[in-house]
Each structure stands twice: as structure tokens, then as C-alpha cells.
Structure 1
Amino acid sequence: MTSTLCASTVLKNALTHYHAELQDAMAALEGDRVEGDEAFSPAFRLPDPSAALERFFSVSDIGVTELPAYHGHALRLLDLMRNPGTHTTKTLASLTIIARAVRHITETGERIMIVTPSSANKATALRDAVHRAISAGLVTENQLQITSVVPAVSTAKLWSSPLSEHAELRRRNPLVVHESEEPASVKELASAFAAENAERLQRRYGVRIWYTLGLDNYRAADMIRAFAERDLLPGADSGTPTRTHVHSVSSAFGLLGHDLGHRKVTENGCRTLPQARYFLVQHLGTPDMVLSLRHGTHDRGNLPVYRLDQAEGLYRQDEDPHFPATTFDPEEQLDPTFYTRRPVTSAQMDSIIAAQGGGGVVVSLHECLSRYAEVRALLADADVTLPVDPRRLREWSLVMAVTGTLNAADRGLLPDSGDVLIHGSGSYSDRDYHPVPAHHRFTAADMTALAGHVEDAVRAATSR
């Protein structure tokens, strides 16, 4: 199942390759469900292997590439962005989520309407997976639908697809934009809608409403990162006792999934995986997890004080190397994808890093631009092409992660272990996709408007 491309090793169709192991690991998540939770969620079970399922999973390739060493650190890229329809790691979780929905629909005959808030990438990846399931013949367009709720600041990052381009599919799978001063309010809006309307819609239309933002829905697929690490990278028995995992994070779902997979691998008797040290990269707009790691609180009052350097037109600070030394604006928003404030996962991540080692760093747009040519050249070895003009970049996750790695190495913040694995979770430019035009989107100022869009979509599928 592997092939070698230049300096890269590519694991083809990882979800098919690890189907049995993933299903076994997911069984433990099923066993951990909280009794009495009335919210609908399909069982953590994948459909049985088939040619159709293999086609559906076929965009789940994972790549590993050795990068040039830096300051004594052996750098590698874990490429989780190989689906040309999304260019983000959200593909792996989305395919797994939709596969669970397919199994439920097939076994029960019940229809499912997924409702998910997203800053952009989750919506794009889930919509891509829904269409793939329909195209593969796993479900029909009437059996599986999706409503995505995204903040207005993220509309430029939404990828057009058949779900938005085809009039009937667009109506049945509404992409809903919510205007708010706080982008993360889409989570509250979607969650409140599901809690107040799920039972009514099931009674009236026989459709299940599935609010998919739960951590385990994403941890399930991200366990595969540890499986791929075990199979594609040197283990502890090869003289690599520890490995630092660098990831641009909003809530660190990906690293928590890797941690779960790491424990599953170890529990299954394979103890060759190096101890995992996690290193978080964030930006100044949402530095909450690094703040929590450093100070035990999300209080932005603990950010260093920036002072304007009139000569250079930059804000500077030198009191804490875990935060940008320079920035155009201390209040900047580098990438709206990273929009979560005060994530509930901070405490869990803090505990893991305290026990196993790691750290975190915050980067600025100025720092990313200052190192952009260096990062672009570094990633060229991994067959990752960044646009020559950084203004064309629309997803900054990978550039943030590599910039954070280099900055941390320069400042002596990386753990002593020389082995560093950068989790490539997203990178795309304006040439990789067509944004969803305004006339293909819906808007909702409140829950009543959102409920109207969802009910219209459900009704359209019911009447067929």
C-alpha cells in the first residue's frame, strides 16, 4: 500500500489500509459513550469493506517526507492534505464521520441531516465527503444531507462543489453564513438549533439531526496519524526515544487524536513508538492554548506588552520568546480558520504536555512573511507548492506550523529531542479552488432563520 515519490513515502488510501485497526480502536470510543446523552450520534462503526467504500476513501492518502535539518533538529512533514478537493486534514475525519452515517442509514433506513458549525475547512471537507458518498453509491441525495454554519469572515475560504453548484443539491445542503462580531458564535447557534429542533424534525419528517462537532468524532480518524507514524517512521527501537509533534492548532483535536492513537498502538503490544511530545503553534488572534499552557489561564492580560517601533512601523516585544517578537498589529487575525477562544480542550492538552513534554509558540503574520521564502523552499522537498506571492495563500496552517518550528528552534524552545514531525494540516491558495459565490449561500441572523433553512432542505428531500 505504499509507494515512494522522491524523498516522500506515501501511504495510499489510509482509511482502507487501516480499516480493521481503526474499527477496533473506534469500538473503545463506542464503549465510552455517556449514558443518558439524548443527542443523536451514529455508532462508532464503519461500513463493511467494499469496492464502493474503497472509492469513497480513496482521497485519504498520507505522506511523510524528510526535510532539511535545522539547528540540529531532524525535520519531517506528515502530509495530511493530499485530497485535491480540500487540501486539509479535515478530510480524514470527515470521511470517517460520513462513513458512520452511511452505516447507520444502511442498517436502520433512517435519513440523516448533519448540522455542523465551521470556520471553513470542516464545512468544505464534510460537504466534499457527503458528495463523495452520494457519487460512490453508498447513499442517495435524499438519505444524507448537510447544513454548514460558517462565520461571515470565512466566506472567501469556502470551496465551491457540486453541493453548491447544483440547484437541488444546494437547496438540500445549505451553506449558511452567520454575521457576528464573534466568529465562534456559529457553534452556539448550530448547537442551540440542534438541541431545540432535532426531536421536532424527527417526528415530522423522520430525519435524524446530527450535530457533529464532538471531540470523539474527530479523534476517531486522527488516531490514524499514530498508525502511520508507527509504520512509516523510525521507532524507539531505532534510537529515537522521543518525537516532537508540531501542529497549528485551534482546539488541538488532531493532536488529541494522535495521542489516543499512540496509546492504542502501545496498548496493543507495539511499544516501538517514540514518546510523543506535543508542540502547539497558534497566532495572535487566538493564542488561548499557548496562554493556558504558559499561565494556566486563557486571560489575554498575560500576553506580552507590544510597543510600536516608529522607525520600522512594527510592534515589538522581547519579554517572552513564546510570543511573536514582531507584529504588524497585536490584535491581528492571521487566519480566520483558527477562531476558537477559550477551548475546552486546553486543560487536557496542558496535562498531556506536562506529563510528556512539549510546549508552544505563537506566530505573527510578519514572522510568517519574513520566513516565507525559506518555508517555501523547505516545503518544495515535500512536493508542497506554495504560491510565489504569499498574498495568494488562503490557508496558513502549514506555513504557521513551519514558521513556528523554525522560530522555536532559533529560540531554544523545542524539546531536546532532535526528531521533529510537523503535522501538515492545511495549505491552499486562491488557485486551488473557486469560492462559493454569494448567490449560492444562505444567511441566518438567528436560530429561527437557521431552522427555516434546515426545514426547507429536509422538506425538499422528503418530497422526493
Structure 2
Amino acid sequence: MAATLSAPTTVLKNALTHYHAELGQALAVLEHHRAAGEAFSPAFRLPEPGPALEEFFSASDIAVTELPRYRGHRLRLLDLMRNPATRTTKTLASLTIVARAVRHIAETGDRIMIVTPSSANKATALRDAVHRAIASGLVTAGQLQITSVVPAGSTGKLWSSPLGEDASLRRRNPLVVHECAEPASVKDLATAFATGHAERLHRQHGVRVWYTLGLDNYRAADMVRAFAERDLLPADQSARTHVHSVSSAFGLLGHHLGHQIIARDGRSAPPRARYFLVQHLGTPDMVLSLRHGTHDRAELPAYELDPTTGLYRQDQDPHFPATTYDPDEHLDPTFYTRRPVTSAQMDPIIATQGGGGIVVSLQECISRYGEVRALLSDADVALPADPRRLREWSLVMAVTGTLNAADRGLLPDSEDVLVHGSGSYGEQDYRPLPAGHRLAAADVEELAAHVEEAARAADGR
């Protein structure tokens, strides 16, 4: 299933089909440890292999590209962004989530309504996966639906798709925008809806509401990163540093679980994973937790305005930006999680296995943008020449953080560095969702009304 496109790049085609059996065994572990009494969630089981499922999973390619060495480090890119309908790693988790829903529907006859809060990319990927399931014939448009809740500040990152362009599908699969001062409030809104209205919707419309934000829903697919690393990269190092732009580090926690599954099965394991987190000044909470044991922003270094350059500077802590246009900036609304509960899991893993973290600023990303673009030129990643056209900064953040960390001597001493490419797209890659294709909800009652209307549409009313 692996193919070499050019000297530095190897592509693993249709990773979810390739690892179907191994992934199924790993999912069984999650199913075994599932907490009793939790809200509705389909079993951690995939449909049986077949042509329709293979077509559905065909957007799950993964690639590894050799990058130029930097300050003694051998750099590679783990490209998880190869679905042209999303350009983010959220495709892998979304396909797995929807596949579990497909199996549940086939076995029980239940209808399912996925409900997810998102900063943008998760909504785009899950909507793409739902449409792929319908288009491939795995389910009908009346059996599987999705409601996405997104903060108003992220609307520019929402992709138009067949679920919005078709009027009937748009009514059944609402994309709801919530105006809020704190973007993460969409999680509270979606949680309140699922808690207060899921049983009523099931009783009145026979539709199961699946609130999909749970960590294991995402760790499941991200285990595939570890399988691909084992098969595509050499195990000739004692340790490998994994660099990832993170909000809650779900992807790295999934990769860590994949390593555990490989070790449990007695297979030849990849090198020990040292995790290196990259964040931005708007949400530096996981790096703060690593450095200071708290998410308190009072622990950020103090910045002073340099009147000569107009930049804010600090030299107290190299783990934070040396220069920034604004200490209170928000580089990318995709990274919107404050005080992530996953710090309690990630911190001890890094303490045991090694790693670290760094925070980058927009000014640092801009100053290195040409260098980053050149570094990625052989990796089949097309960064726009003008950074103002970039809409998803995850990959640029990760590579900028890698270079800054190498310059400052912050990377672990392992020579081997794998950058997880979790998202990159510019305005040339998608058509923004038109304003007329989205709804608005100020509170849980308005959200419930939109979901009710979607359920009625699926009822044929």
C-alpha cells in the first residue's frame, strides 16, 4: 500500500483500510475500558471491510517526507493533511467516528445525529465524512445527520461542502454559529443541549444524539499515526521527537496509545516518543502547565515594547516568543481551548519519556515564513507565497516552533525529529461557507430548535 512519489516522500494509501484489522483490535481495547453509564456512543467497532467502506476510507492517505536537516537534527514531515476536502488531520478521526455510527445504524436500525462543537476544522471534517458515508451508500441522508456548533470568530474557516450546497442536506445537517466572547463557549452550549434535549429527541423522533467530543473518539484514529511511523520510518534511533501544534494534544495522546498497543501486542515498536508541544500566545496553556504546573497566564513572561522596532520583547524564558506584535494576540482561532484537562495526562508522559514545548508568535511565524515555505517545498505542501492568504496556521506554527526550539537548544537531544503536519490550507484551497448556509444560536433553546428542525426534515416533515 505504500508508494514512493519522489526521493523524499513515501505515501501510505488509504491508511484506515490498510490498518483495518489492527485498528479494530485497538478499538476493542477502548471498548473494553469504556465507562459504564455514559451518554449514548456507538461501540468502538468498524463495519466489515467491503468496496463501499474502502471508498469511504479512501481519503485517509498518510505520507512521510524527508526534509532538509537543521542544526544537526534530521527533520521529517508526517503528512496527515492529504484529504483535499479538509486539508487537516481531523479527517482520520472523523472517518473513524462516522464509520462507528454506520455500524451502529446497520446493526440496530437507529438514526444518529452527531452533535459537535468545533473551532472550524472538526466541523469541516465531520461534515465531509458524513457526506462521504451518504455518497458511498453506507447510510442514507435520513439515517445519519450532523449538527455543528462553531464560534462566530471562526466563520471564515468554514468550508462549503455538499452538506451545505444541497438545500435538502443543508436542512438536515445544520451548521450553527454562536456569537460569544470566549470561543470555547461552544463546548458549553453543545454540552448543555446534549444533556437537556437528547432524550426528548430520541423519544419524539427516534434519533440518537451523539455528542462526539470525548477524547477516545479522537485517540482511536490517531493510533494510526503510530502504526504508520512503525512501518514507514526506521527504528534505528533510541528516541524520536514528535513536534505537534496542539490545542488539547488529542493527536499526540492517540499516538501514545498507539505505541502502547504496539508494545502490548509484542510487535517491533518505534523509537521512544518524546513529545514537543507547539502553541501560540492566545492559548499557551499546555506549555504553561509543562513549565509551571499551572494554566495561569500570570506565569507568561513580561513583554516590553521596543520603541525602535515597535515589537514587544522578552528574554526571560526561551520557551515563549522572543518578539511579538501583541502579547494578547490570537494567531489562529483553530487553537481555542483554555485550561485543557488533557494537561494532566500529557505532562507526566513528557516528564517520563522526554520532550517539552514552545510558544510561537505571529511575528515569529511571519519572519520565518519564507524559510518554512522553502523547507516544505518537496513535501507536496503548497503554502501560498503571500502569508496573508494562509487560513490554517498549524503546520507553519509547528515548523516555526521546531526551528526556534533548535536555535534555542530546547529540542531533546535525539537527532530524529518528526513534525506532525496536522493542518495547512490557504484561501485558494476552499470556498468559504456562504452566510446563507449557516444558522445562529445565542442559547441552548435556539440550538435545540435548529436540531429539532433537522430531525423533522429527516422525518420527511
TM-score (norm 2): 0.99
Written as runs of structure 1 = structure 2, the 5 A alignment for 1:215-226 is 215-226=215-226
The answer to whether the 8 Å contact 1:293/1:360 transfers is yes
Written as runs of structure 1 = structure 2, the 5 A alignment for 1:18-417 is 18-37=19-38, 39-235=39-235, 238=236, 240-417=237-414
Q: Distance in 2 between matches of 1:435 and 1:340?
A: 23
- Report SS of the residue matched to 2:40: coil
Q: Distance in 1 between matches of 2:424 and 2:213?
A: 22
Which amino acid in the other structure matches residue 368 of structure 1?
C
Task: Tell me the number of residue pairs that the alignment of Structure 1 and Structure 2 aligns.
Answer: 460
Which amino acid in the other structure matches residue 401 of structure 1?
A
Offset of 1:347 from its aligned partner? Answer: 1.1
Offset of 1:288 from its aligned partner? Answer: 0.2
Which amino acid in the other structure matches residue 337 of structure 1?
T
- Report SS of the residue matched to 2:312: strand
Offset of 1:203 from its aligned partner? Answer: 0.5
Which amino acid in the other structure matches residue 256 of structure 2?
D
Offset of 1:36 from its aligned partner? Answer: 2.0
**Unmatched runs of 5 consecutive residues or more in structure 2:** none
- Report SS of the residue matched to 2:107: helix
- Report SS of the residue matched to 1:383: coil
- Report SS of the residue matched to 1:78: strand
Q: Distance in 1 between matches of 2:456 and 2:114?
A: 15
1:8 corresponding residue in structure 2: 9
Cα deviation per residue 1:191-238 (whole Å; 9 max; x = unaligned)? 110011010110111000000000000000000000000000011xx2
Cα deviation per residue 1:157-204 (whole Å; 9 max; x = unaligned)? 000001011111111000000000000000000011001101011011
Moved over 4 A (4+): none
The answer to whether the 8 Å contact 2:4/2:10 transfers is yes
Q: Distance in 2 between matches of 1:271 and 1:415?
A: 23
Offset of 1:359 from its aligned partner? Answer: 0.1
- Report SS of the residue matched to 1:230: helix
The answer to whether the 8 Å contact 1:363/1:403 transfers is yes
The answer to whether 1:441 aligns with 2:438 is: yes
Which amino acid in the other structure matches residue 113 of structure 1?
M
The answer to whether the 8 Å contact 1:78/1:421 transfers is yes
Cα deviation per residue 1:333-392 (whole Å; 9 max; x = unaligned)? 000000000000011100100000000000000000000000000001111110000000
Cα deviation per residue 1:82-120 (whole Å; 9 max; x = unaligned)? 000000000000000000000000000000000000000
The answer to whether the 8 Å contact 1:243/1:274 transfers is yes
2:426 corresponding residue in structure 1: 429
- Report SS of the residue matched to 1:380: coil
Identity of aligned residues (%): 77
Offset of 1:437 from its aligned partner? Answer: 1.0
Cα deviation per residue 1:437-463 (whole Å; 9 max; x = unaligned)? 111100000000000000000011012
Which amino acid in the other structure matches residue 312 of structure 1?
T
- Report SS of the residue matched to 1:431: helix
Q: Distance in 2 between matches of 1:406 and 1:349?
A: 22
Q: Distance in 2 between matches of 1:463 and 1:429?
A: 38
TM-score (norm 1): 0.99
Q: Distance in 1 between matches of 2:57 and 2:278?
A: 29
Q: Distance in 1 between matches of 2:180 and 2:285?
A: 20
Which amino acid in the other structure matches residue 424 of structure 1?
G
Which amino acid in the other structure matches residue 34 of structure 1?
A
Q: Distance in 1 between matches of 2:2 and 2:396?
A: 27
Q: Distance in 2 between matches of 1:381 and 1:361?
A: 26
Q: Distance in 1 between matches of 2:2 and 2:426?
A: 28
Distance 1:272 1:35, change over 3 A: closer
- Report SS of the residue matched to 2:25: helix
2:18 corresponding residue in structure 1: 17
The answer to whether the 8 Å contact 2:160/2:432 transfers is yes
Q: Distance in 1 between matches of 2:121 and 2:259?
A: 25
The answer to whether the 8 Å contact 1:266/1:273 transfers is no
Q: Distance in 2 between matches of 1:120 and 1:80?
A: 17
- Report SS of the residue matched to 1:290: helix
Offset of 1:271 from its aligned partner? Answer: 3.5
The answer to whether the 8 Å contact 1:116/1:147 transfers is yes
Q: Distance in 2 between matches of 1:232 and 1:360?
A: 25
- Report SS of the residue matched to 1:57: helix
Offset of 1:272 from its aligned partner? Answer: 3.5
The answer to whether the 8 Å contact 2:259/2:269 transfers is no
Q: Distance in 2 between matches of 1:95 and 1:179?
A: 29
The root-mean-square deviation of aligned C-alpha atoms, in Å, is 0.6
Q: Distance in 2 between matches of 1:162 and 1:409?
A: 43
